Structure 1
Amino acid sequence: MKIKDVEKLTHTDRATLYYYEKEGLLAPQRTENGYRIYNTEDLSAIKKIRLLRSLQVSIEDLKALKNDELTLSSVLKNQLALLSSEEKKSQESKELCLKLLTQEETFQTLSPDQYLHPGEPPHQMKDFEDYPEELPQVYDPIRRFFARFFDYTIYITLWYLALYLTLRIDLQNRSFLYLLLDQMVTMALMLVVEPVLLTLYKTTPGKKIFGLRIEHSDGTPLQYHEGFSRTFLVLLEGMGFLVPLVSLFTLIISYNRCIQGEIQPWDKNIAYRIKDRNALRGVLFAVLCTILLSITVLLQYLYFMPPNRGNLTVEEFTENFSHYQKIYNLPLNGKRLKSSAAWESPYDFRDLYLPHHVTTPPNLTFTMKNGYVEAVSFDIDVRDTDFYVYHYGEYMSLISLALMTPEWNLATTREKADKLVDYFSWNSSSSYTMNVLGVDIDNDVLFEGFEETHNHTMPLRDVESNFYRQKFIASKYLP
């Protein structure tokens, strides 16, 4: 029988039945949609509880009786002593306790019908006819969590896709403030879009995967303001607006509500139904999540690719150069390359007292073929200085990456590019030739009176003269 029938037969309201269930005194069966189904044993247990509660027996003692940790006789003796010690205890309760003791009843054999009053006073009766039917609910925290996770993943993927297509944003190196902005925009997107989906389809993509739908008790969809209110409460009480510790706390509370069969605050007066629990739905969820996460990873690799490929003009080369300067966060002492390939150097007071070869970036020389860049080179010639010579590995890396031809395997391209940048950072003052990503690199270095360190070359002391010469050239194949 349903909960509405139990309310009528036992004269016990729904909130009290939920309370008994939460305390472990009742354990009704559940249907797929979360309906409580009570049998005759449940009905008898409710009547026993109601009888003993009328004698002011505590919930703890009722639990102990149910688990055979106490006998009914011992509980009644204690209760009789308590009732006797209180002047305002009803004489009727005392007599009933004595009668039960005389009958030598046990909790298992207790027949409450012969002791309960057949009716209740009119002012204590509840109009159970007006009590609504119990709404179906899905008490499955795992399915509900992953359905929500999938929806959130869709929203964040759409946001990242919009960022990449409109602004070509680097998704891999987002600062904390930008990540916070991403989170806020994603929640705003969810708050606007999800109510529309619930109004039109009674479900969301994540819920659809797991066969879940949300509607009114009569099967009609929620109105937009109802869906908006529900989604807002989910974000507030279920996700804690994704504030790390708050979010963890709200997730734990929501999980416990599901486990204990309690309705979530955002699902009150709403029917939450499930179509089935087919295991293939989990497989579908895993496949679609993999696709969404792959899209995000693909966007990161696509962003890494040079903005311009193939034959490059000088302006396109400088755009590629600046692109990789941003990706690898190479400061170049505050210097930036303009579209004309001239250096844009903001004022720096160090320029007033540091040697020219330290403060001035190398002049880039372009070798052109049919109007396109065939090679880029620079020459360094420092003589008789008592100051260090800056290593030019950052410039070498950016020139090479700006000219590169990406491989079809984007992950391999990124891996080779990272290795190239790392190699130049440690070996910029060594002579070598190599070919990486379609770029022929020739670095010719000769110095005397210097000693090499990690990021610069220091002049030796007690040496009258020294020199440092470097010629770097990076060229690409032009069809």
Structure 2
Amino acid sequence: MALPVISIITHDISYDRLKNREILSWDENISYRMKDRKLYRFLPLAAGYIIVFALFASSLYSTITPPHTGELTVKEFTNNFMHYADFYDVDLGNHKLLESGIWGTNSYDILNDHLPAHFLPPLFRFKLKDGIVQGVSFVVEVEDTDIRIVSHQDYMMLTSLSLADFGGFSIKSPERIDRFMMDIYQKSTKDFTYSNFGIALENKVETENLLNYTDYLFRDDKNKEIRYREEFSVLNTSELPSEEN
């Protein structure tokens, strides 16, 4: 059965309008609303989101939270130290902090025999009371070298994190820890004090004829002797987060 010519023309016009996303006359002033009243359809999706979030939070908790909190022995402190070194991918070279609190090597490296002392990990000194760590400190001294003096900011950061109390884990913990580390990095070659998160930090720096470039220092004048001395300490104050100095 043949279609009238007018029908063919109108169908063709309507088709062109639809292709151009125009509203046809019979669709004007018409709207549709679809509402699914079967709420159980959304339960699997909601459960999936909850499971993913729980897995993410659990993973974040296990990586950010140190193995030990509260009062720490030397062994527990070193466990925390190496935990954070692994988590933040800090390059300790061929060295690792042993459970006794002294530095060991993973394997013999001939370069260690030729590195200047200030390129090696600092010797930790522990302040103990009844076997519990009350504080950790180290001293770095350099005299008359043409090799740049690199900041010990990584050791400052790891030592501080290992003793700090961030008041339990929360979704904001990574941000709080990042701000805490940034404060240390920005001041690592200068005198500073810091009191927060249950610890008190103090860094004392003495220099002669050295130029400071934020995280390292250079000899100012080759004809003059240089001197660099840094004493860094962290004390466990066992206080809730207070204020920064």
Fold-level similarity (TM above 0.5): yes
Q: Given that residues 90 and 154 in structure 2 are in contact (C-alpha distance below 8 angstroms), is that contact kept between their aligned partners in structure 1?
A: yes
Match for 2:88: what amino acid?
Answer: Y
Distance 1:424 1:347, change over 3 A: farther
Structure 1: gaps of 5 or more residues: 1-47, 49-63, 71-276
Alpha-carbon distance in structure 1 between the residues aligned to 2:219 and 2:115: 15
Q: Does structure 1 residue 388 correspond to structure 2 residue 116?
A: no
Secondary structure of 1:418 counterpart = helix
Residues 407, 413 of structure 1: 8 Å contact kept: no
TM-superposed CA distance for 1:427, in Å, is 2.4
For the pair 1:308 / 2:63, whether they are aligned, the reply is no
Partner of 2:227: 467
The alpha-carbon distance between structure 1 residues 286 and 350, as it changes in their structure 2 partners (threshold 3 A), is same
2:121 to 358, 361, 369: 361
| Whole-angstrom CA distance in 2 between matches of 1:324 and 1:467 | 31
SS at match of 2:81: helix
Describe the shift of the 1:352–1:314 C-alpha distance in structure 2 as closer, same or farther (beyond 3 A): closer
In structure 2, the residue matched to 1:404 is 164
For each residue in 1:121-169, what CA deviation from the matched residue of structure 2 results, as whole angstroms up to 9, or x when unmatched? xxxxxxxxxxxxxxxxxxxxxxxxxxxxxxxxxxxxxxxxxxxxxxxxx
Is 1:284 the counterpart of 2:37? The answer is no
| Alignment: residue pair count | 208
Is the CA contact (8 Å cut-off) linking 2:61 and 2:169 kept in structure 1?
no
1:348 aligns with 2:119: no
Structural RMSD (CA): 2.5
- Alignment pair present for 1:437 and 2:194: no
Please tell me whether the aligned partners of residues 321 and 398 of structure 1 are also in contact (alpha carbons under 8 angstroms): yes
**Residue 446 of structure 1 contacts residue 470 of structure 1 at CA under 8 Å; is this kept in 2?**
yes
TM-score w.r.t. length of structure 2:
0.76
Moved more, 414-423 or 306-315: 414-423
3-state secondary structure, aligned to 1:308: coil
- Quick one: distance in 2 between partners of 1:446 and 1:286? 61
State the 1:288 CA deviation: 2.0
1:309-348 equivalences under 5 Å are: 309-345=69-105, 346-348=107-109
Unaligned runs of 5+ in 2: 10-35, 240-245
In 2: Cα distance, 1:467 partner to 1:338 partner:
30
CA contact (8 A) 1:301 1:410 kept: no
- Supply the distance in 2 between the matched residues of 1:402 and 1:423 (Cα, whole angstroms): 16
Report the Cα distance in structure 2 between the residues aligned to 1:335 and 1:351, rounded to whole angstroms.
10
1: CA distance, partners of 2:117 / 2:188: 20
**1:440 to 1:292, Cα distance in 2 relative to 1, 3 A:** same
> Which one of 181, 192, 197 corresponds to residue 421 of structure 1?
181
Q: Aligned pair 1:449/2:240, yes or no?
A: no
Which residue identity lines up with residue 354 of structure 1 in the other structure? Answer: L
How far does residue 467 in structure 1 lie from its aligned partner after superposition?
Answer: 0.6
CA contact (8 A) 2:206 2:229 kept: yes
What is the deviation of 1:339? 0.9
Q: Secondary structure at the match of 2:171?
A: helix
Q: Does the alignment pair 1:378 with 2:146?
A: no
Q: Which has the higher contact order (CA 8 A, sep 6+)?
A: 2
**How many Å apart are 1:444 and its aligned residue?**
1.1
- How many Å apart are 1:458 and its aligned residue? 1.4
Identical pairs, percent = 27
- Matched residue type, 2:165: T
Normalising by structure 1, report the TM-score: 0.40
Residue in structure 2 matched with residue 476 of structure 1 by the alignment: 236
Pick the structure with greater CA Rg: 1
- Superposed counterparts of 1:162-173, under 5 Å: none
Following the alignment from structure 1 to structure 2, what is the Cα–Cα distance between the partners of residues 281 and 462?
78
Which residue number corresponds to residue 220 of structure 1? none
